[in-house]
Amino acid sequence: MALTLPLALIGIGVFLWLLFAAAAQALPLFAGLWAGFAASHAGASGGTALLIGVAAFMAVIALGRALTALLPMRGARIGIILLFALPAAAATGSVVATLGQAAGIDHWLVALAVIAAAIIGGNSGRRSIDQPHS
């Protein structure tokens, strides 16, 4: 019985980490899910649909990094970074608002959602440009 509380806290912590890690990759995750579900709807088997979804996820990340590295104009690179960061911020704000409502936090919910969205959105933007440039 004494082991239950620490294991529950670890489980909740891992769940929240996975939830916010998925929110930080909102655009590639959406593209991968869309491609996988489209392949499944078209008649592909479960394994094939999963592989197509993972390939689409990785292709969106690779395309974003390649465009960020290859585009010479600073404004275009910022646009690509915002293309990845804004969906991540929106997904994070939604996650924080939902978890806050479930926890009964009403007064500070908007402030917490905006702060978390800014942190995760900025982190997602940083990840998309955090690569060695040649």
pLDDT tens profile 79-89: 888 888 888 88
**What is the domain count for the chain?**
1
Q: Which residues contact 36 (CB under 8 A, 6 or more apart)?
A: 49, 50, 52, 53, 54, 56
In a domain, 14, yes or no: no
Whole-angstrom distance, CA of residue 132 vs CA of residue 70 = 12
Can you say whether the dihedral through the CA atoms of 79, 83, 87, 89 is positive or negative? negative
What is the structure's pLDDT at 134? 45
As a whole number, mean pLDDT of residues 85-108 equals 81
Quick check: pTM over 0.85? Answer: no
Question: What pLDDT does 130 receive?
Answer: 60
Q: Is residue 3 part of a domain?
A: no
23, part of any domain: yes
Over residues 128-132, the mean pLDDT reads: 59
Residue type, position 118, single letter: A
* Structural domain includes residue 121: yes
Distance CA 15, CA 49 (A): 25
Closest to 124 in 3D by CA, of 23, 37, 51:
23
Domain range for 92: 19-129
Helix, strand or coil, per DSSP, at residue 75: helix
Distance in angstroms (rounded) separating the CA atoms of residues 121 and 117: 6
In a domain, residue 8? The reply is no
**Would residue 60 count as lying in a domain?**
yes
Q: For residues 41-61, give the mean pLDDT.
A: 94
